[in-house]
Structure 1
Amino acid sequence: MTVALREVNQKILGYVSLTFLGYFTIGLSLATLPIFIHQTLGFNTIIAGLVISIQYIATFLLRGYAGKIVDTKGPKVSVLRSMLFFAMSGILLLLVFLFKSQPFISLGLLLITRLLTGIGEGMVGASPINWALMELGDEHAAKAISFNGIASYGALAIGAPLGVLMVNHISYEALGVLTIVVGIFGYVYCRSKTPYRIVRKRTEKISFKRVLVLVAPFGICLALGGLGFGSISTFMTLYYEHFDWQNGASCLTVFGIFFILTRLVFNKVIDQYGGLKVALLSLFVESLGLLLIATVINPIWTLLGAALTGLGFSLVFPALGVEAIKRVDQSQQGSALAAYGLFIDISLGITGPLIGFVANNMGMGAIYPFSSIMVAIGFAVVGNLIYTKRKALI
């Protein structure tokens, strides 16, 4: 049993390592681009937030296409294409920094770069999860989703501070070069993996739109929870700059550490207590963390708030994701995970301009009270889902 469990973990890790490579390229520029756009190029916070969010819009548009590829051609095809887009985004990112003395040209190139990055994210997305489920079976869904999240947010937690260090001690251009290298390495590594695909018995075929409707209740809750992460990942470095604090990227690292630790320590609670109950508690803790950042204006307490936010947000995606895929047949799981992932794309896509608008009109201090309220609404919606489910069973 122990050997079998070890083999399962190794196989899942082998697939989600592809997620790590993809999100590492995203993380490299995550903490540096808002400052680059605002301070080096001279554009305001709304523009900075909008440019960052272009990535999530592209990811949103690619989710359905990626899900269809996974269900028809297998996840390997989707992941290979994603790595090519990450490599291309690195080439353009290099040009962005080379043209930094010409702000509008640099910004235009950056918009295209973010689109390519978003396409790469959309293609890699849930593909490694589906790859694992096709080989190991649906009983490992919670673990596969959790490990994939550890890979993605762990990559962001490592990539963001590394990107800041590279900018401070080497150059902006070094970020572009490293992004190219990681994208190419990911492509070669993915090609070495067996395109394993289980032939599943198909039942009645349903459209992606119908799948989207089926998973929407869980996706809406995910989107509201995602606003908390988005406000930290996109605006925390500017928040630190506003108060003349140092090491704003450290918040992303602290968030990532607690995010990963929570998934490692509590990886069985979803199977034990159910996705909705776990999501309810998680959103409460996330909202509490954001409220702490909002009310105690101090860098140490802000780090503590980021830790609570990471702890809370950690299990939201897998908890609600397990509930979402129960709504569809096995042959539609690629589409279901893609549809479910759309909601985090929507969340992160609107977070940039929305939080940028709040910051621009109400001040930086309004960012985290607003984010806390949004996550609290998500908590209330999950509570309503639990109530509705219990009422239906009576």
Structure 2
Amino acid sequence: MSSEPSAAVLNKQGERGDNAQIIATVFITFVGFLNIGLPLAVLPTFVHGTLGYSTVMAGFAISIQYIATVLTRARVGRIADTKGPKLTVIWGLYAGFGSGAILLASALFESTPAVALGFLLASRLSLGICESLIGTGAIAWAIGRVGPEKTARIIAWNGVSTYGALAVGAPAGVAITGLSGFAGIGIAVMALSLVGLALALPKPATPMTARDNLLSFRSVLFRVLPHGTALALATAGFGTITTFVTLFYVARHWDGAAYALSAFGVAFIACRLLFADVINRWGGYPAAIVSLVVQVAGLTAVWAATGPAMALAGAAVTGFGFSLVFPAIGVEAVARVPPANRGSALALYSMFLDVSLGVTGPAAGWISGLFSEATPFLFGAVATLLSLAITAWLATGKRAG
């Protein structure tokens, strides 16, 4: 009897090895995004309460990070393509360390509010660059290590790391501030960045593919534009839940808005963990179409809710539906470009999500003011239906091609 392992055993061992490499890479994302989560809950209080600036400035201090992320996405994608994704992640961790150091300086100068605010805004810009570098680089690095056929799983698990880090980071930041003040956040961000570097530096870089035939920025953007548009419209539905569900509950005099947000988050993560491989089995477009239908149903339930239980269920269904939209459409977007342009495609595709989240809040708020506090969810459902139409059109074009 042969002692050689069977093909099934070898395949299972290879699958476990690939999963281990994916987890090791996206864990660096988790560490990097903890840097983003730590200041979230305490930064507005520091700007408004400690430094004495308006709530508008407190909000600007939060949003300037995302402005930096959007503005650097394209450049970061090119860095990942030309310098390699490992170096991209390492530079992101350096940017995170710099953000922590500048944040510490802001805390030390709190008696001089203008100086402290200047340091704080500089720290947020550095953190936005950190998010852009790590968010793009980690996915491209993992794809390079285990192969493009695992793209859906990589994007899905990387998203779990991202949202998980933000969920853990916010309460952790409150606890750190209670123990050691706002300066402790800066120190913690620096320490986490060093942990990330210790994890990233020993890992092998991925082999570089030929770089002499890189597509131009415009060409890559043109190829991912319809996919990014579908993502942006679907993200509008996600944005209405996270931004307006609390105000919706308050307007209806209901308790439990936090539970609705938690239900959304738990359903989102559960779907990513349990069903990410559906994208490989069905294909990106079919998985996205089913997900978008579920998301429309969830948003419609929130809009029509007659009680908090129905709104909570609708939020959970929305989270479940939105969960696979990014990786499902993203797989098809990345497949539209050569391997040498993978980083640029990922960065530009992700940029549509960033822009959508920036636009959705003001747009939905304007709609709410014109009509009612429930209307933003109808707006989100309509936007998701438009995303569904674009995705179905893309799927038809792929089958025809």
TM (normalized to structure 1)? 0.84
Partner of 2:5: none
Q: CA 1:189–1:275 in 2, change beyond 3 Å: closer, same or farther?
A: same
2:92 is aligned to 82
- Which deviates further from its counterpart, 233-242 or 372-381? 233-242
Residue-by-residue CA offset, 1:337-381 (whole Å, 9 max, x unaligned)? 122112112112323444455567767555434333323322232
SS at match of 1:200: coil
| Change over 3 Å in CA distance of 1:151–1:332 after alignment to 2 | same
Partner of residue 372, structure 1: 381
* 1:292-339: CA deviation from partner (whole Å, max 9, x where unpaired): 333437555444333222211111111011101111111111221122
Deviates more, 1:336-345 or 1:313-322: 336-345
Q: Which residue of 1 aligns with 2:300?
A: 291
How far off its partner does 1:217 sit?
A: 0.7
Q: Distance in 2 between matches of 1:247 and 1:102?
A: 40
CA distance in 1 between counterparts of 2:53 and 2:252 reads: 19
CA distances 1:224-253 after superposition (whole Å, capped 9, x unpaired): 122233344456566667778777665554
| 1: CA distance, partners of 2:231 / 2:370 | 27
198-207 or 11-20: bigger deviation: 198-207
Any residues of structure 2 matched to 1:252-267 within 5 Å, and which? Answer: 252-267=261-276
Contact 1:270 1:319 survives alignment (8 Å)? yes
Alignment of 1:322-341 (within 5 A): 322-341=331-350
Match of 1:56, SS state, is helix
| Residues 199-232 of structure 1: CA deviation (Å, up to 9, x unaligned) | 3245733202210110111111111122233344
Q: Aligned-pair distance for 1:189?
A: 2.2
Question: For each residue in 1:153-195, what CA deviation from the matched residue of structure 2 results, as whole angstroms up to 9, or x when unmatched?
Answer: 222232234445656787555444433322232223222322x
CA offset digits 1:126-145 (Å, max 9, x no partner) = 21121122222222222212
Tell me what 1:383 maps to: 392
In structure 2, C-alpha distance between the alignment counterparts of 1:164 and 1:251, rounded to whole Å: 22
Label 1:185 to 1:202 Cα distance change in 2 as closer, same or farther (>3 A).
closer
SS at match of 2:71: helix
Q: Which runs of 5+ in 1 are unaligned?
A: none
**Bigger radius of gyration among the two:** 2
Task: Check 1:239–1:316 CA distance in 2 against 1; reply closer, same or farther (3 A cut).
Answer: same
In the alignment, structure 2 segments of 5+ residues that lack a partner are 1-10
Alpha carbons of structure 1 residues 68 and 61: separation in structure 2 relative to 1, 3 Å: same
Deviation at 1:95, TM superposition (A): 5.7
Report the equivalent of 1:226.
235
In 1, Cα distance between the equivalents of 2:172 and 2:296?
28
- Residue of structure 2 aligned with 1:351, choices 343, 353, 360: 360
Aligned positions of 1:100-139 closer than 5 A: 109-139=119-149
Answering whether residue 222 of structure 2 is matched by residue 213 of structure 1, we say yes
- Check whether the contact 2:84–2:208 (CA below 8 A) recurs between aligned residues: no
Q: Confirm or deny: 8 A CA contact 1:70 1:334 kept in the other structure.
A: yes
Aligned mates of 2:264, 2:271 — CA distance in 1: 11
Q: Residue 151 of structure 2 aligns with which residue?
A: 141
Aligned twin of 2:76: 66
Q: Which amino acid aligns with 1:11?
A: Q
Q: After the TM superposition, which residues 17-56 of structure 1 pair with which residues of structure 2 at under 5 Å, given as runs?
A: 17-31=27-41, 33=43, 43=54, 50-56=60-66
Higher relative contact order (CA 8 A, sep 6+): 1
Question: Structure 1 residue 67: deviation in Å?
Answer: 1.6
When residues 116 and 367 of structure 1 are mapped into structure 2, their CA distance, relative to the original with a 3 A threshold, is: farther
Asked whether the equivalents of residues 87 and 183 of structure 1 are also in contact (C-alpha less than 8 Å), the reply is yes
Shift of 1:79: 1.0
Secondary structure, in 3 states, of the residue corresponding to 1:205? coil
Aligned length in residues:
390
Q: 1:157 aligns with which of 167, 171, 183?
A: 167
Instruction: For 1:150, give the aligned amino acid.
Output: V
Alpha-carbon separation, structure 2, partners of 1:242 and 1:39: 27
Task: State the alpha-carbon separation in 2 of the partners of residues 94 and 140 from structure 1.
Answer: 40
Distance 1:248 1:105 in 2: 37
Contact 2:36 2:169 in 1 (8 A): yes
Classify the secondary structure of the residue corresponding to 1:29.
coil
Is 1:281 paired with 2:295? no
| Secondary structure in 1 matching 2:39 | helix
Name the CA shift for 1:366/1:127 in 2 (closer, same or farther; >3 Å): same
Q: CA deviation at 1:51?
A: 4.4
Alpha-carbon spacing, 1:97–1:223, altered in 2? closer, same or farther (3 Å):
farther
- Aligned match of 1:181 in 186, 191, 201? 191
Q: How much does 1:26 deviate?
A: 1.8
User: Which segment is superposed worse, 224-233 or 58-67?
Assistant: 224-233
| In 2, Cα distance between equivalents of 1:21 and 1:386 | 36
Task: Please give the alpha-carbon distance, in whole angstroms, between the structure 2 residues aligned to 1:292 and 1:175.
Answer: 39
Letter in 1 for 2:216: S
Deviates more, 1:270-279 or 1:295-304: 295-304
Residue identity in the other structure for 1:64: A
Query: Contact 2:88 / 2:137 at 8 angstroms: preserved in 1?
Result: yes
1:342/1:308 Cα in 2 relative to 1: closer, same or farther (>3 Å)?
same
Alignment check: 8 A CA contact 1:11 1:132 kept: yes
Pick closer, same or farther for the CA change 1:213–1:129 going to 2, 3 Å: same
